[in-house]
Structure 1
Amino acid sequence: MSTTLQMLDQGSLRHILEAHNLFKLRKAGGRIANLSYIDLTDMKLEGVDLSDANLTGARLYGASLRDANFTRANLYGCDLRNADLRFARFDRADLRGACLRGANLTAASLIGTDLREGMIAFKDEKQGLRLMKHEKRAGELDHAIFNGADLSGARMNGMQAVSADFRDANLAGAVMSQAKLRKANLSGANLTGADLNGADVSGADLTGTVMVETQTSGCNLREADTTGTLDTPKEVFIDERPLRDFVALHEDWAKTGGAKGSRQVLSGVDFRLAGDLRKRVLTMLEADGAILFGLDLSGIELQGANLINADLRRCNLAGADLRGARLIGAKLTHANLTGTNLGPLDLGGGRLMRSDLSRAHLSHANLSNADLTRARMLEAVTEHVIDKGCNYMLAERA
């Protein structure tokens, strides 16, 4: 940055942070942190709580800020280039004019964050008002990493994010009108209800992107890869009967051991409008390649089901029974598998059917307290999973 910023020694910074902590605890001697126009280049502040703090125009170039809390903080015009911001929280923060070029915000939370452009003017005796500038244009997100980040409801009108990484990010309801997203990676991102009016998304990777009710008027999609994009679901009919009828037939078959109903093969079917599937008994269902994106499947029974290559991204599978299920190549990114049973299914006579998640995509999934006893997980993608209380070590991973 061209503007001279104030340097702080470690003692002064520690005093400011201690006073801010007292402020957050509502204790005597507390004072909200004011780090505006302070140079904190390469500072190591992992896990620091600077929620509600003032960091206007501060320089945090290359700083280590993993797990930091900037909720509601004022980071207007802040220099965050190349900073490590993995798992940091910026919910409802003011990041207008901030430069995040090359910053790593993997799995960060930026719900309702303001990322629009903005500039800061300084009073100068010789030049009058003078703009503070970074090395390039302010508000730039070029090459920034938002892999798996939550940007729902964020305001990013007119932002520049050329070649930025938004893989598997949640951009539901985000305002990105007039944004420059050339060659950005938006594969697997959730753009439900997002505003992309007038945006430049040319050459971008939109494979598997969810674009339900996404506004794209005047959006430049030239040379963008839209393979496998999910749009607004439509009611599924089979032989002029609604899908929910066939789900009910299969449930009757599963509950009565075949005495009623009939086993269903629903490969490649879109279940998003199939009705309430919570706690349904769908044992041995054939649903390979099916679309179940974002559904609440909590408590569902899918023992021995064929879910090969199924789309289960952002599904709620908490407490589900998936013993012996075949989930080879299934998409489970951001899925909630809390307490899910993925152990072996006892077929009697000493025979066991093991759950198979080989080559499944589990990035950012929540596996807390899940049972993975003897589950096959060969070549499964497990980046940034939450596995507290999960017997992950009992799965076959090699």
Structure 2
Amino acid sequence: MTATAGDTRYTKMTQAQVDAICVKHERLRAMKPGGARAMFAWCDVSGLSFKGRVLNDADFTAAILMDCDLSGAVLDTCNLYCADLQLANLQGASMRRADLRGASLRGANLSDSDLYEADLREGALALPDKQAGLSYVEISMRSSEAAYANLRGANLERSKLSGIQAMKADFTDATMKSCKLIRANLKQCIMDNVDLAGADLSGADLSGASLRDAVLIGAKTDMWRTSQTDMTGVLTDKAMGTDIKALPYGQMLKDHALWVDTLGKEGSPSKFDHADLRGMGSIRGLNLAALSAKGAVFYGLDMRGVQLQGAHLEDADLRNCNLQGADLRGVRMLKAKLDGANLEGANLGALKIDATRFLPADLRETRMRNVNFSAADMNLVRLDGADISRSNMEGAALNLEALENVTCVALRGRIAS
């Protein structure tokens, strides 16, 4: 049963009443006089606005929040047990460790929301009864529902989604590491580029779903159903291309470093095109200038301080790599994937060839969603056709004209142009 407006169990509230309760809650959190915890249990607040409100630990048990504006709201550790959030706008909201058991999120907009360790398992409602004690409102436990919900770019890491009904939901670019999805109904879902590393998908139904470029490293998939599921480009524990463990990569890297240090007089350049480099674990601080690793898989590598000036990394997979402080001047990353990577303080400027010639970093048509570019040097970088949606650009040095042909939805931070 879904909560409906007009039900006699519910107290209908006005916007003025909601605002007054929110102010008292914020006063309580600020330890000011007149504060009180926000209590919206069994209240009908459908269509009202909670935009940007800070309501940590508020009680929304069984509340009707249909079509509410909760965008940017802070709802961490809130009790949203069996709440009706159908068609609600939760874009950019924070619901870390929130209790959403039995909640209905059908058609809700949860894009870019933070649901870290949220609980969306099944739940049942019960009301006190003078003669019977507790009387079930619903005869059986109901699963949380997120059918048709928009969860693009949401953080669902370590969340509990076992048994959830999320048919045709959009999880594109979501982070779902170590997520519990046991027996989840994910039929016809869009889960392209979703990071499901370490997730438990045992018994989940993904029939007709799209998992293009999804990450399933360490995921449990016992008894899952994938009839007519698009698994193109899925990254698993199995090596993609040439397994680096089958190559004498230690000697190859030494030879390459010597070749760079002696300006080509000694050693030899290494070539790792279409190799799976995950087995290295770390290439932190190595001098790999002019390296050729086209189409290679670097996923999750520690690459802090690595020197890759003028390297050929076209079509490479650098998702979730730590490139903090890396020297990437003049790098070629055409059509590469860097989603979730950390490029804080990285140098993506132009490589000086001589007094009059400069080689700009080439990141055209590169996918760089949710990347940390804070304090990065991106002067003269080529970004035509790139996607840097949801990335952190705080303090990054970049000519704003470079963003003219770039997809940059929900950018964060102030660019130091």
If the TM-score is normalised by the length of the shorter chain, which range does it land in? over 0.9
In structure 1, what is the equivalent of residue 137 of structure 2? 131
- The answer to whether residue 92 in structure 2 is matched with residue 92 in structure 1 is no
In structure 2, what is the equivalent of residue 185 of structure 1? 190
Moved over 4 A (4+): 123-128, 233-240
Given that residues 379 and 397 in structure 1 are in contact (C-alpha distance below 8 angstroms), is that contact kept between their aligned partners in structure 2?
no
Alpha-carbon spacing, 1:371–1:39, altered in 2? closer, same or farther (3 Å): same
Distance in 1 of aligned mates of 2:370 and 2:389: 6
RMSD of equivalent CA atoms: 2.3
In structure 1, what is the equivalent of residue 211 of structure 2? 206
Q: CA deviation at 1:372?
A: 1.7
Alpha-carbon spacing, 1:233–1:318, altered in 2? closer, same or farther (3 Å): farther
Q: Pick one of 358, 373, 390 that aligns with 1:384.
A: 390
Alpha-carbon spacing, 1:397–1:258, altered in 2? closer, same or farther (3 Å): farther
Taking structure 2 as the reference length, the TM-score comes to 0.89
In structure 1, what is the equivalent of residue 111 of structure 2? 106
Given that residues 102 and 141 in structure 1 are in contact (C-alpha distance below 8 angstroms), is that contact kept between their aligned partners in structure 2?
yes
Given that residues 28 and 35 in structure 2 are in contact (C-alpha distance below 8 angstroms), is that contact kept between their aligned partners in structure 1?
yes
Distance in 2 of aligned mates of 1:6 and 1:71: 24
- The answer to whether residue 53 in structure 2 is matched with residue 22 in structure 1 is no
Alpha-carbon spacing, 1:203–1:87, altered in 2? closer, same or farther (3 Å): same
| 1:84 maps to amino acid | N
Distance in 1 of aligned mates of 2:16 and 2:24: 12
| 2:74 maps to amino acid | N
Instruction: Report the more deviating stretch, 385-394 or 194-203.
Output: 385-394
Distance in 2 of aligned mates of 1:324 and 1:183: 41
Distance in 2 of aligned mates of 1:289 and 1:258: 24
In structure 2, what is the equivalent of residue 297 of structure 1? 303
- The answer to whether residue 324 in structure 2 is matched with residue 318 in structure 1 is yes
Q: Pick one of 157, 171, 177 that aligns with 2:162.
A: 157
For residues 275-286 of structure 1, the aligned pairs below 5 Å read 275-286=281-292
Q: CA deviation at 1:347?
A: 0.6
Deviations 1:78-115 (A, max 9, x none): 11111221221111110001111111111211111100
| 1:316 maps to amino acid | N
Q: Pick one of 272, 276, 282 that aligns with 1:270.
A: 276
| 2:341 maps to amino acid | A
Q: CA deviation at 1:253?
A: 2.0
Instruction: Report the more deviating stretch, 256-265 or 293-302.
Output: 256-265
Q: CA deviation at 1:42?
A: 2.2
| 1:311 maps to amino acid | D
Deviations 1:211-235 (A, max 9, x none): 1121111101111111111111559
SS state of the match for residue 348, structure 1?
coil
| 2:78 maps to amino acid | A
SS state of the match for residue 11, structure 1?
helix
- The answer to whether residue 96 in structure 2 is matched with residue 118 in structure 1 is no
In structure 1, what is the equivalent of residue 266 of structure 2? 260
- Number of matched pairs: 395
Q: CA deviation at 1:174?
A: 0.9
SS state of the match for residue 395, structure 1?
helix
Q: Pick one of 346, 350, 356 that aligns with 1:350.
A: 356
In structure 2, what is the equivalent of residue 175 of structure 1? 180
Q: CA deviation at 1:74?
A: 0.5
Taking structure 1 as the reference length, the TM-score comes to 0.93
Distance in 2 of aligned mates of 1:367 and 1:274: 24
Distance in 2 of aligned mates of 1:203 and 1:238: 34
Distance in 2 of aligned mates of 1:132 and 1:389: 52
In structure 1, what is the equivalent of residue 414 of structure 2? none
Q: CA deviation at 1:357?
A: 1.0
Distance in 2 of aligned mates of 1:12 and 1:240: 67
Given that residues 376 and 396 in structure 1 are in contact (C-alpha distance below 8 angstroms), is that contact kept between their aligned partners in structure 2?
no
SS state of the match for residue 273, structure 1?
helix
Q: CA deviation at 1:44?
A: 2.3
In structure 2, what is the equivalent of residue 395 of structure 1? 402
Alpha-carbon spacing, 1:11–1:238, altered in 2? closer, same or farther (3 Å): closer
| 2:93 maps to amino acid | A
In structure 2, what is the equivalent of residue 196 of structure 1? 201
For residues 18-97 of structure 1, the aligned pairs below 5 Å read 18-97=23-102
SS state of the match for residue 71, structure 1?
coil
Structure 1, unpaired ranges of 5+: none
